[in-house]
Amino acid sequence: MAHSDLSWPWLGHGQQVYNPRIRAEFQVLRPISKCQAEARRLRARGFPPGSCLCLYPKSFLELEAPPLPQPRVCEENLCSLVLLLKRRQIAEPGECHFLDQPAPEALMQALEDLDYLAALDDDGDLSDLGVILSEFPLAPELAKALLASCEFDCVDEMLTLAAMLTAAPGFTRPPLSAEEAALRRALEHTDGDHSSLIQVYEAFIQSGADEAWCQARGLNWAALCQAHKLRGELLELMQRIELPLSLPAFGSEQNRRDLQKALVSGYFLKVARDTDGTGNYLLLTHKHVAQLSSYCCYRSRRAPARPPPWVLYHNFSISKDNCLSIVSEIEPQMLVELAPPYFLSNLPPSESRDLLNQLREGMADSSAGSESSSVQEFRDPCVLQ
């Protein structure tokens, strides 16, 4: 195949488009452009020569097809681009002369997300943390989680997870046989999809990066090799900028909690709550309801396993059944503890927001009570003296 995009039966192909208002991706059907058609025709003339099958009439290409495909800058999450513009001091995002101008709400959403991640200071310039985030070839929220792992002593696991989320995000197709399904279940981790990705990577390395091992489990061997290479590059980068590292501790209870805290530190914008106990998740940042992806490890558990009440997800895509991809359970107390207070205050009205505010008030009261008791303990010996 000369082109790897998802093809559709007639004359279009599926394209992932990011909607900044709801922080979600959805797939749209786009007709082929004249530029794309010509590129595919030229690929077929390479060595060895191939065939280019056109599933549309010649008249469509001449009269109706657009000359160029839609620019990607108008259809992607702009957080990484805005972070780069800030770091290079090229121009303010609203003043930059793009060849194809993205929507103003896309730029504003990117600035808002970077502000929530503490990548910007009060003047809108890069903070010290933002400068470090811009060093990593990762999405800003993933880079923030990787930096948080330095504080929570789970750097080794987050390095693996960052590489896997970027290059090899798990299974991409249903199992082809019962044997393959059983081999996949052996790689699933009880703590969620993020821990399952770490387990998949470690098993891949233990297999000697064997391509047959990947094929038997429906895994992409080339993507896992790329993840292994990326992990090494991220490790070298952290050593170069002298960030602290930690020893592997995957599987321990303390490491499980530390890994959750690191993920929440970067992905607090992507949290959902099960509203009725049946797997209908309401996203905190907007009132969309979604279900777990069919590849989620929580879906493959035997009944009557109940879906986790609070989850953190890597991706939300709008489709026939809106789904959350790469999901892990979290505790709402962690969200209250680690997310910026003004983020929680800016959430749209919902029962979930009320629950989080109650938790925040309870945690503040308990903290104030412990401080007052410690002050009283300090004063009593002074009175006795």
pLDDT of residue 147: 97
Same domain for 231 and 312, yes or no, is no
The range of the structural domain enclosing residue 27 comes to: 12-70
Task: Say how many CA atoms lie within 13 Å of 225 toward its Cβ.
Answer: 9
Q: What's the total number of domains in the chain?
A: 4
Spatial distance between the Cα atoms of 315 and 327, rounded to a whole number of angstroms: 9
Same domain for 162 and 81, yes or no, is no
Same domain for 64 and 102, yes or no, is no
Same domain for 93 and 22, yes or no, is no
Same domain for 305 and 196, yes or no, is no
Same domain for 110 and 170, yes or no, is no
pLDDT of residue 340: 92
Q: Domain for residue 238, yes or no?
A: yes
DSSP 73: G
Q: Domain for residue 366, yes or no?
A: no
Check: pTM over 0.75? Answer yes or no: yes
Of the residues 40, 55, 70, the one at which a domain ends: 70
Spatial distance between the Cα atoms of 299 and 307, rounded to a whole number of angstroms: 8
Q: What is the pLDDT along the chain (385 residues), one digit of tens a residue?
A: 344 444 443 344 567 888 888 888 877 777 888 888 888 888 888 778 888 888 888 888 888 888 888 888 888 899 999 999 899 887 676 677 888 888 888 999 999 999 999 999 998 899 999 999 999 999 999 999 999 999 999 999 999 999 999 997 777 778 888 899 899 999 999 999 999 999 999 999 999 999 999 999 989 999 999 999 999 999 999 999 999 999 999 999 999 999 999 999 999 999 999 988 889 999 999 888 999 988 888 887 755 568 899 999 999 988 767 889 999 999 999 999 999 988 988 999 999 999 999 999 888 877 666 655 554 554 444 333 3
Q: What is the CATH number of the domain that holds 118?
A: 1.10.10
pLDDT of residue 152: 96
Residue 77 CA to chain centroid, in angstroms?
12
Same domain for 162 and 255, yes or no, is yes
- Cβ–Cβ under 8 Å, residues 202 and 178: no
Same domain for 312 and 283, yes or no, is yes
Residue type, 295: Y
- Cβ–Cβ under 8 Å, residues 21 and 14: no
Q: Domain for residue 141, yes or no?
A: no
Q: 195 is written with which tokens?
A: 């821990």
Spatial distance between the Cα atoms of 178 and 181, rounded to a whole number of angstroms: 5
Q: Domain for residue 342, yes or no?
A: yes
Q: Domain for residue 364, yes or no?
A: no
Q: Domain for residue 100, yes or no?
A: yes
Same domain for 254 and 178, yes or no, is yes
Same domain for 90 and 191, yes or no, is no
Same domain for 249 and 179, yes or no, is yes
3-state secondary structure (DSSP) of residue 29: strand
Same domain for 254 and 205, yes or no, is yes
Own/partner long-range contacts of 94-102 (Cβ < 8 Å, ≥24 apart): 98/73, 99/71, 100/71, 100/73, 100/74, 101/74, 102/73, 102/74, 102/78
Q: Where are the alpha helices (DSSP H) in the chain?
A: 34-44, 58-63, 79-88, 104-116, 128-133, 140-152, 155-167, 178-185, 193-206, 211-217, 221-240, 253-267, 332-338, 341-345, 351-384
What are the counts of helices (DSSP H) followed by strands (DSSP E) for the chain?
15, 7
